[in-house]
Structure 1
Amino acid sequence: MSENVSVVAQTHDLQMIVHEIISEGIKVDEQMQVAAIIDKLPNSWKEFQKGLRHKQSELSIVNLMARLQIEEEARKQDKKNESLTNTHANYSNSHQGNGNASGNGVKVNFLTSSDSALKGQHTFSKTK
């Protein structure tokens, strides 16, 4: 499986291939399908993969798909939160000490409007 493509989407693709094989009259054991999907997970999923291997005997394809979807959503959320945290940290670090926004002597003041129609909106003014 590729790191750059949704694991759930790739698993659906594998399931489509399995259904084609089954439609040709070849039996494919469900536990074999589960094991194959677990073994093909990307390297970044190693810890999750280890946990699934211990529960393999009790996993159906449906349960595996549900777990993969939950994990993938959690990873997306973690990545989003990490990105927001890094952006905030980068902004804070770049504005410490000298009080100017771009290092060129321009100071940016953030003013929050108290007007109820504009509540939550910010206006920006430059001072030199």
Structure 2
Amino acid sequence: MIVHEIISEGIKVDEQMQVAAIINKLSNSWKEFQKGLRHKQSELSIVNLMARLQIEEEARKQDKKNEALANNTHANDANSHQGNRNANGNGAKVNFLTSNDSAPKG
């Protein structure tokens, strides 16, 4: 918004300065991404920067979805294993006699 105000006053602002300002305003959670952008050899246009930011944001969303899915699957696996344990918690099979079964001999 500040750049638009400056431009509306007739002052020219270099595009690379705008790109650098946007990169510097990224939050701390984007620190590694910031470093990568700052060390690029070629100059970035604002359009290219916006495209890279959108791609990174989508990748982070997908990573969060995958992480949540993995955590949910892991929790479900732990619950299913826990449900297979007997009262002693050792996981040994417990056989219960039904009215149709005969008691073991001997």
* 1:51 counterpart = 2:36: yes
* 1:73 counterpart = 2:58: yes
Partner Cα distance (2:2, 2:38) in 1 = 22
Structure 1: 5+ residue stretches without partners: 1-15, 101-128
Structure with the bigger RCO (C-alpha within 8 Å, sep 6+) is: 1
Q: Which of 65, 74, 82 matches 1:97?
A: 82
Question: What TM-score comes out, normalization by structure 1 length?
Answer: 0.60
Give the match's secondary structure for 1:59.
Answer: coil
Contact 1:22/1:28 (8 A) holds in 2: yes
Aligned pairs, how many?
A: 85
Structure with the higher strand share, 1 or 2 = 1
Contact 1:31/1:56 (8 A) holds in 2: no
Q: How does 1:1-128 map to 2 (within 5 A)?
A: 16-55=1-40, 57-99=42-84
Partner Cα distance (1:93, 1:74) in 2 = 28
Give the match's secondary structure for 2:40.
Answer: helix
Counterpart amino acid of residue 48 in structure 1: F
The alpha carbon displacement at 1:35 in A equals 0.6
Deviations 1:24-73, CA, capped at 9 Å, x for gaps: 21221111111111111111111111110012751111110110010000
The alpha carbon displacement at 1:97 in A equals 3.3
Structure 2: 5+ residue stretches without partners: 86-106
Question: What TM-score comes out, normalization by structure 2 length?
Answer: 0.71
Partner Cα distance (1:64, 1:93) in 2 = 43
Instruction: Answer with 1 or 2: which has the greater Rg.
Output: 2
Identity of paired residues, percent?
Answer: 79
Partner Cα distance (1:57, 1:27) in 2 = 22
